Chain A
């Protein structure tokens, strides 16, 4: 089998590639395509948002005022910072600095926890005031009859985004385990790089969500 497995720097690429470089390029392309899929998926939600906002602009204006801009802003800063720590983890993996990979993955993980804690306080505050999606809406202060729709979009869009954050946290743990097993080296750091792609995407979605949800009021 020696002819089909070429060893580079301790890393053996899969048998159907000619080199570790080809394999890396293929993995990156696959991840980009997956990102395209994600864009289209969120795209559906943004289309729904656009349509309803065009139908009920004054309702969006009123309902948006009931979102906590401070908390949203805090989360924006948290996520942008976590993108930075993620990049640092990727750079550390390219240099094979095991300790630094773990440090930066850990920081990214902690920041994501922070994001979810803030989200928890936001959600629970709203639920307490009866601001629930669609048919479950019981709040009486918000008078516009279509306002429940805004909060449906709010919960669905931020909820699916939060789900992506949780998946990302799982990926951090998975990367940390593989780092501790010494699987990454300057010759092979594909998974760290690809999770980095994913994490920036999750960050980007929030950067669109924040102004569209919190700042239209």
Chain B
């Protein structure tokens, strides 16, 4: 039997050896780790661009880089963080590792397609990055026409890179949906699925429905530059606002590609560390689909000042506010789960609480922006920047960090170093709020986004924001170094250090090549947590 080897410590990391065994692997766990490292590499690059933006904005006037360079820097920061970091971060990296295991499957439905998705992603990312060396792009990550048609530089490289990466996203989504349908362990009925799976399912739907629209939009934009097709070019009779409609038909749902997976992570972490059954299981599961559904009908709120029409503005404003309902359902359910729980403040839980704080601010300020009269004033100001950073960094990255710490023992077989993880959390939380909270204020006072300069009255808050960005950077480096050190110094993790009930914890750490020693059979839902006697409370620092 193949299983005898497992008893002697065979796991997915030592199952085969050498560089090629990784590059050609079909194992979803290895592919997940490859995604994770690539994403983190790009996160470093995107982060350095962010620090550069903040350095330029440290003082009024030109501090470090000239306006044209500044335009390129914020374009790279945005494009890298959106297309190369946040969109693949949780679905492709953590999702690949965790999703099949949570289902009790041996792999995803299409392992070769999964590896292909990874290489498509890398190829697209490199293609987009190559623009750096060929004149760069200064359109912003949104590539609005007609500017993106006329501006010089390597705009096509960035657009085509994003186009290619889109296929990776589509194929990952497709793979996950089929996996969830076809490869669930015996007894794992829909009503027993972990909430991370529900969130991934909703995300995958958005990926396969919205991404192709971005693909065709970007392709048309390339044709626009190469063959002058004019569909978005007012000079020839085309319509630049059509580009905005197409772009946001993808890019608004894409925001939920970024936020639904971390919501899934949070839904796993909170019950485990509160030792209580999740509150509102069905409400959380359905609200993921509610968000995915509403995601497709709110894109027009990016066009409130584009002249799309008063009726359209009114309808989109109303629909946008609807998003707050399923989102609120989730937040209240998480808080309800913690109520009277025996909360352990380990690093994943701290990050989950950080998510709650930041995401709630990000979400509520979204309601401000959905309100027409207020949005006219706030459009294209730093208020918008602060809002979506609270959602994307505060939400998506906090969720990623929660997940990375939560599953670290499963991935590596070692515990992360708890103290360092907590210190890094406080640096990140403080740094994040110091960086972005002042931006709400300067934004409300009228400081526009995407300028390399600002009026002197905004200087104090901008200086504060820049200092905050250093705190944030220290926090991220601290977390990274801490996890790296944990690989060597961490204690050996048991199979299930958190005493969690989802299936991935019912397998050895690190898991064997085929995930489980014996095929798991599911008999209950995964949230039957009870308070444990003799549990020592963990202090948050």
In the complex the two chains form, is A48's CB within 8 Å of B111's CB?
A: no
Q: A14-B111, A16-B105, A134-B230 are in contact. Are A30 and B209 (CB under 8 A)?
A: no
Across-interface contacts of B375 in A (CB, < 8 A): none
Per-residue 0/1 for A141-157: is the Cβ within 8 Å of any B Cβ (1 yes, 0 no)? 00001101100110110
Across-interface contacts of B208 in A (CB, < 8 A): 33, 36-37, 40
Q: A4-B2, A16-B107, A34-B174 are in contact. Are A40 and B212 (CB under 8 A)?
A: yes
In the complex the two chains form, is B178's CB within 8 Å of A16's CB?
A: no
Cβ-based interface call for A183 (8 A):
no
Q: A3-B1, A16-B111, A41-B212 are in contact. Are A29 and B182 (CB under 8 A)?
A: yes
Across-interface contacts of A160 in B (CB, < 8 A): 219
Chain A residue nearest in CB terms to B186:
A18
Across-interface contacts of A77 in B (CB, < 8 A): none
Chain B residue nearest in CB terms to A44:
B216
Q: A16-B183, A148-B236 are in contact. Are A134 and B216 (CB under 8 A)?
A: no
Cβ-based interface call for B514 (8 A):
yes
Cβ-based interface call for A73 (8 A):
no
Shortest distance from the beta carbon of A94 to any chain B beta carbon, whole Å: 21
Chain A residue nearest in CB terms to B237:
A146
Cβ-based interface call for B109 (8 A):
yes
Across-interface contacts of B217 in A (CB, < 8 A): 44
Shortest distance from the beta carbon of B371 to any chain A beta carbon, whole Å: 28
Interface size on A, as a range, is 35 or more
Shortest distance from the beta carbon of B531 to any chain A beta carbon, whole Å: 37
Bound-state CA distance A165–B514 (Å) is: 39
Spell out A's residues near B (CB within 8 Å). 1, 3-4, 14-17, 22, 25-27, 29-30, 33-34, 36-38, 40-45, 47-48, 51-52, 56, 133-136, 145-146, 148-149, 152-153, 155-156, 160
Cβ-based interface call for B246 (8 A):
yes
Bound-state CA distance A38–B212 (Å) is: 7
In the complex the two chains form, is A1's CB within 8 Å of B182's CB?
A: no
In the complex the two chains form, is B105's CB within 8 Å of A40's CB?
A: no
Across-interface contacts of B105 in A (CB, < 8 A): 16
Q: A37-B174, A155-B229 are in contact. Are A30 and B109 (CB under 8 A)?
A: yes
Cβ-based interface call for B227 (8 A):
yes
Shortest distance from the beta carbon of B319 to any chain A beta carbon, whole Å: 19
Per CB-CB distance, the 6 closest pairs between chain A and chain B, nearest first, are A135-B228, A134-B230, A41-B212, A16-B106, A44-B216, A152-B229
Shortest distance from the beta carbon of B30 to any chain A beta carbon, whole Å: 15
Bound-state CA distance A43–B177 (Å) is: 22
In the complex the two chains form, is A44's CB within 8 Å of B246's CB?
A: yes
23 A-B pairs whose Cβ atoms sit less than 8 Å apart in the complex: A3-B2, A15-B107, A16-B106, A26-B110, A33-B208, A37-B174, A38-B212, A40-B208, A40-B213, A41-B215, A41-B216, A43-B212, A44-B213, A44-B217, A47-B246, A133-B228, A134-B231, A134-B238, A149-B230, A152-B229, A152-B230, A152-B236, A156-B220
Cβ-based interface call for B467 (8 A):
no
